[in-house]
């Protein structure tokens, strides 16, 4: 079984020179998230602390690889002035590029952090993210000091965050035809040091009554593509009898209260089995691949000194049966080609898994993503910070270790 293909450097993302639209491919999270019309980027309302964490992640490259690609920030992306500037700057960038075709219809065209910087600078608004040099230990310790309540906890209950600034991120669901999405909220403790006593008690009650306390994570939301015919069959048979599950556009969507009903690992494992519904005969491969990605998250967090409260693991895989079949075939073909010359470029890691050598890549290869059947990322860093000298984040690691154990069991069971 081939390992996951190595993630290549991404080409500049695309954005349509037109109005942004609501982002609908979320299994959980806050309101107010927008997307460009092509779906390759998302614009997520955020707090200054989240921007700071994304920026400073440049000094933690292994951790940064577990995050969605951060493109920068944009002030008030729905404001007409900002939209107008965005369209103007993007069109100017295109026409100034030698050989670039005309774009009278506002089709998707390249936008880079430099373009975002020009837009926000012109609007006298937020500054886009720039690489942050590694900070000194003193700086990191200062940032890691517990925040006082005056610093402000920003609870939202899932409502739109009251801010004029959005972070611009890659949309990791975009490469998939019909993405299945699983959002897993990490931690038994869900509040950071700035949270007031009332908020702490509320979140502690949620943790104590769910698997957040016992397993260190809970299912915060889930979307599973079942196809339009299956949708009709399911509805007609009355198989969905929970107020926390809805059926629309070929998807079963499970809201945040669905996972709050779970009491133990068996409940969670049943939900994960439901999540793997679309994988069909590729369930063993998919479960093994997700397990490998989770192990990488675990290994990374064990080597980092950070704290994340209410962060999530986001798991995405191709839910369209035909598209998944095609991706598996393409991936196997790429692997066969790579292994062709007597195994050049391959090695086994400490756990015996086959891996690919790091090395120079052809320019053409860098511009083309290898097919991936799934992706697993850490998301939601509104309450995250680097904490040098305090050791690994055992709160988040409790949940990640539980996930590794559960998916190892699933992979073993369906692979036997």
Kindly give the interhelix angle for 113-122 and 80-95, rounded to the nearest 10 degrees.
130
Instruction: Give 142 or 276, the one with higher predicted confidence.
Output: 276
CB atoms inside a 10 Å sphere around CB 78? 13
Q: Is-contact 265 219, C-beta < 8 A?
A: no
Whether the per-residue pLDDT at 86 is higher than 60: the answer is: no
Q: What is the DSSP letter of 183?
A: E
Partner residues linked to 348 by β-bridges: 354
What local confidence, expressed as pLDDT, does residue 337 receive? Answer: 80
Partner residues linked to 354 by β-bridges: 348
Q: Is-contact 98 29, C-beta < 8 A?
A: no
Distance of CA 321 to CAs 79, 264, 318, Å? Answer: 40, 31, 8
252 by DSSP, 3-state: which? strand
Dist CA 339 CA 70 (whole Å):
33
- Name which of 185-189, 220-224, 228-232, 366-370 the model is least confident about: 366-370
Dist CA 87 CA 94 (whole Å):
11
* Nearest CA among 378, 398, 2 for reference residue 216: 398
Q: Would you list the DSSP string of 124-140?
A: T-PPPP-PPPPPPHHHH
Highest average pLDDT, of 13-17, 24-28, 227-231, comes from 227-231
What local confidence, expressed as pLDDT, does residue 156 receive? Answer: 40
Dist CA 147 CA 129 (whole Å):
23
Q: Is-contact 20 34, C-beta < 8 A?
A: yes
Highest average pLDDT, of 22-26, 87-91, 115-119, 367-371, comes from 22-26
Q: Is-contact 169 194, C-beta < 8 A?
A: no
What local confidence, expressed as pLDDT, does residue 21 receive? Answer: 60
Dist CA 358 CA 91 (whole Å):
37
Mean of pLDDT values over 347-373: 52
CB atoms inside a 10 Å sphere around CB 394? 15
Mean of pLDDT values over 110-118: 46
What local confidence, expressed as pLDDT, does residue 34 receive? Answer: 84
Highest average pLDDT, of 55-64, 115-124, 156-165, 343-352, comes from 55-64
What local confidence, expressed as pLDDT, does residue 233 receive? Answer: 59
Alpha helices in 276-393 (DSSP H): 283-303, 321-338, 363-366
Whether the per-residue pLDDT at 320 is higher than 90: the answer is: yes
CB atoms inside a 10 Å sphere around CB 31? 14
* Nearest CA among 203, 176, 194 for reference residue 310: 203
What local confidence, expressed as pLDDT, does residue 25 receive? Answer: 58
Q: How far is CA 197 from the centre of its chain?
A: 30
């Amino acid at each position: 079984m081939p390992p996951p293909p190595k993630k290549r450097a991404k080409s500049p993302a695309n954005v349509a020179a037109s109005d942004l639209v609501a982002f609908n491919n979320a299994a959980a999270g806050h309101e107010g998230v927008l997307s460009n019309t092509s779906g390759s980027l998302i614009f997520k309302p955020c707090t200054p602390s989240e921007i700071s964490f994304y920026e400073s992640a440049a000094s933690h490259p292994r951790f940064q690889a577990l995050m969605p690609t951060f493109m920068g920030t944009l002030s008030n992306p729905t404001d007409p002035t900002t939209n107008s500037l965005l369209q103007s700057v993007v069109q100017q960038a295109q026409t100034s590029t030698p050989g670039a075709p005309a774009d009278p219809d506002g089709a998707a065209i390249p936008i880079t952090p430099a373009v975002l910087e020009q837009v926000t600078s012109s609007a006298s608004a937020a500054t886009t993210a720039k690489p942050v040099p590694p900070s000194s230990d003193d700086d990191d310790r200062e940032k890691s000091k517990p925040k006082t309540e005056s610093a402000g906890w920003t609870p939202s209950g899932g409502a739109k965050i009251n801010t004029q600034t959005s972070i611009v991120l890659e949309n990791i669901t975009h490469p998939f035809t019909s993405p299945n999405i699983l959002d897993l909220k990490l931690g038994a403790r869900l509040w950071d040091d700035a949270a007031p006593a009332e908020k702490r008690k509320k979140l502690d009650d949620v943790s104590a009554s769910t698997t957040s306390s016992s397993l260190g994570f809970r299912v915060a939301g889930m979307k599973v593509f079942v196809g339009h015919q299956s949708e009709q069959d399911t509805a007609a048979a009355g198989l969905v009898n929970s107020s926390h599950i809805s059926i629309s556009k070929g998807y079963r969507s499970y809201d945040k209260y669905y996972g709050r009903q779970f009491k133990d690992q068996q409940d969670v494992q049943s939900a994960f089995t439901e999540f793997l519904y679309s994988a069909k005969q590729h369930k063993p491969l998919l479960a093994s691949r997700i397990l490998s990605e989770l192990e990488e998250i675990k290994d990374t967090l064990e080597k980092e000194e950070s704290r994340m409260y209410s962060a999530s693991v986001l798991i995405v895989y191709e839910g369209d049966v035909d598209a998944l079949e095609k991706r598996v075939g393409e991936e196997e073909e790429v692997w066969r080609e790579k292994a062709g010359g007597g195994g050049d470029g391959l090695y086994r890691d400490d756990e015996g898994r086959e891996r690919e050598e790091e090395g120079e890549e052809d320019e053409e290869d860098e511009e083309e993503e290898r097919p991936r059947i799934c992706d697993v990322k850490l998301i939601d860093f509104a309450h995250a910070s680097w904490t040098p000298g305090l050791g690994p984040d055992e709160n988040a690691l409790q949940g990640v270790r539980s996930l590794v154990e559960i998916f190892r069991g699933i992979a073993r069971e369906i692979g036997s």
